[in-house]
Amino acid sequence: MKEHKTSPLVWPLRALGLGALIGVWAFGNGPGGISPLVLPTIPRVLEALGEALSQFSTYEAAAITFGEILAAFIIASVFGLAAGFWAARTPLRLQVFQSIFVWGYLAPLILFYPIFILSFGTGVGSKIGYGAVSAFFPIAYNSLRAFATVQPTMLKVAKAFGASSFQTDFLIKLPSALPLISSGVRIGAGASMITVIFAEMLASTAGLGYQLALNSQTFAAPQAFAMIILLMALVGVLQGLVNLLLTPRRDRGKIINVAH
C-alpha cells in the first residue's frame, strides 16, 4: 500500500485552529460579554489547572477514573470477543444474536444506569459495570461480523488439508477477522471512556468526572474547565495506548506520523 507523506501544512493548520479557538474564547471574555461564571478567562483556567496539578487528590481521582475505564474496557473486550466468536459459529446463532447485538449497540443504555446504581451503588462497581456493558455490544457485534465474513473458500481449503477445528479458528478465522475486530475494540474503548466519565458525573463519590460535576454545581467555572482539560488529556493517553496495542508491530512506527 502506498504511503501518504504528511503535508507541511498539517501543523500550521492545527496551530491556526487552536489560535481561532483561543481567539473566540478571548472575544467571549471581552467584547462578547460572557459572564466569567460561565466562561472564565484563559489565565484563570491555567491557574486553576496548575492548582489542580499540585494537589495529590487530583492524581488520586485520575487514577480512579483510569482504573474504572481500564477495567470496563478489559471486561468488555474479553466477553465481547468471546460472544462474537461463539455467536458466529453457526448460522442460527448468527441470525439470533446479530439482531440482539445491534439492538444493544444502538439502544440508549443510559436508561439502564439507575439499575447499575441500585445493584452496585454509587461507587466504582457501577461505573465499571455500566462502562463494560456499553462497550460490550460494539465489540461483540463487530467480532460477530468479523468471524461471519471470513471467506468460505479459505475454510474449505483448510479443511481439505486436514486442519483441525482449533487450527481453523486460530490460524484462519482469527487473522482474517482481526481488522474488523480491531475496529470494534476501538469503538468499545471510546464507549467505555465516555460512559464511565458520564456515569461519574451523574452519580459518584470519586474520580475526575465527579470533580467536574462538583465544580460545575458550585459554579467554580475555572476549576471545572481545568477538570475538562485533564479529562481530555486522560482520554487522549488512553486512546493512544489502545491504538498502539491494536497496531501490528511492524506498523507501530507509523503511528508517529499521526502526530506530524
The reply to whether 1 falls in a domain is no
pLDDT greater than 90 at residue 226? yes
Q: Number of folded domains in the chain? A: 1
The reply to whether 36 falls in a domain is no
Q: Which residues have CB under 8 Å from 46's CB, separation 6+?
A: none
pLDDT greater than 70 at residue 257? no
The reply to whether 98 falls in a domain is yes
Cite the DSSP H helix spans in the chain: 10-29, 42-53, 56-87, 91-106, 113-120, 124-148, 152-160, 165-167, 174-202, 208-217, 221-246
CA distances from 121 to 118, 199, 214, 235 (A): 6, 12, 19, 25
Q: Which residues constitute the domain of residue 211?
A: 42-244
Grid cell at residue 106: 444502538
Q: Which residues have CB under 8 Å from 141's CB, separation 6+?
A: 84, 98, 101, 102, 104, 105, 184
Per-residue confidence band for 156, with pLDDT thresholds at 50, 70 and 90: low
pLDDT greater than 80 at residue 176? no
pLDDT of residue 192: 92
pLDDT of residue 48: 92
Whether the Cβ atoms of residue 209 and residue 197 lie closer than 8 Å to each other: yes
Angle ∠(50,55,59) on CA atoms, nearest 5: 100
% of the chain exceeding 70 in pLDDT: 84
Whether the Cβ atoms of residue 65 and residue 128 lie closer than 8 Å to each other: no
CA distances from 162 to 71, 88, 149, 177 (A): 40, 22, 22, 21
pLDDT greater than 70 at residue 4? no
pLDDT greater than 90 at residue 163? no
Q: Give the domain CATH number at 112.
A: 1.10.3720.10
The reply to whether 34 falls in a domain is no
The reply to whether 18 falls in a domain is no
The reply to whether 107 falls in a domain is yes
Whether the Cβ atoms of residue 225 and residue 45 lie closer than 8 Å to each other: yes
Cα(76)–Cα(138) distance, integer angstroms: 9
Angle ∠(140,247,156) on CA atoms, nearest 5: 60
The reply to whether 239 falls in a domain is yes
Per-residue confidence band for 258, with pLDDT thresholds at 50, 70 and 90: very low
The reply to whether 217 falls in a domain is yes
Q: List pLDDT tens digits, range 107-154.
A: 888 888 888 888 888 888 899 999 999 999 999 999 888 888 776 666
pLDDT of residue 259: 47
